[in-house]
Chains A and B, each alone.
Chain A
Amino acid sequence: MITCARVRVLLEAYVDGDMAAADAARVRAHLSTCADCRRQHDQAISLPFRLRALSSPAPRPSLVGEVMQAVGAERAGYSSSWTLLVPETVLAAFILWYLSGLDGLSSIASGVFGDLLSLGSGSLPHVPPVDVVLLVALIALMVVAAFHLSILVRLTPRVAHE
Chain B
Amino acid sequence: MDAGAATQPLPVTDSSRAHALASGELVREARGGDLDAFEELVRRLQRRVYGFAFQHLRDPHEAHDLTQEIFVKLYRNLGRYDAGRPFEPWFWTLATNTTINYRRKRVPLPSEPGEEAADPGTTPQAHDPALVEALAQLDPSYRVPVLLHYYADLSLEQVAAALSLSVPAVKSRLHRARGVLRNSLADAEELGRP
Interface residues of A (CB under 8 A from B): 8-9, 11-13, 16, 18, 39-40, 43-44, 47-48, 50-60, 63-64, 66-68, 70-72, 74, 156-162
Contact = CB atoms under 8 A, between A and B. Distances in A.
Contacts of A56: 50-51, 54-55, 63
Nearest to B48: A56
Contact of B46 (A8, A40, A64): A64
A121 B181 CA distance: 87
Contacts of A51: 131, 135, 146, 150-151, 181
B17 interface: no
B80 A40 contact: no
A40 B78 CA distance: 45
Given A11-B179, A58-B47, A64-B42, A48 B150 contact: yes
Contact of A158 (B54, B76, B146, B174): B76
B150 A161 contact: no
Nearest to A9: B179
Contacts of A53: 127-128
Mostly, the A contact residues are: helix
Given A12-B179, A47-B181, A59 B50 contact: yes
A102 B15 CA distance: 54
Interface of B: 30-35, 38-39, 42-43, 46-47, 50-51, 54-55, 60, 63-64, 67-68, 71-72, 75-80, 124, 126-128, 131-132, 135, 146, 150-151, 153, 171, 174-176, 178-179, 181-182, 185-186
A161 B33 contact: yes
B68 A70 contact: yes
A16 B182 contact: no
A63 B46 contact: yes
B47 A67 contact: no
A54 B151 contact: yes
A33 B63 CA distance: 46
A92 B132 CA distance: 62
Contacts of B78: 158-160
A47 B189 CA distance: 14
11 contacts: A40-B182, A43-B185, A43-B186, A48-B178, A51-B151, A54-B135, A56-B51, A58-B47, A72-B35, A74-B75, A158-B77
A70 B175 CA distance: 39
Given A18-B171, A67-B39, 18 more contacts: A8-B179, A40-B182, A40-B186, A43-B186, A44-B179, A47-B178, A47-B181, A47-B182, A51-B135, A53-B128, A54-B126, A56-B54, A59-B67, A67-B72, A71-B35, A71-B71, A74-B72, A160-B32
Contacts of A160: 30-34, 38, 75, 78-79
Contacts of B54: 56-57
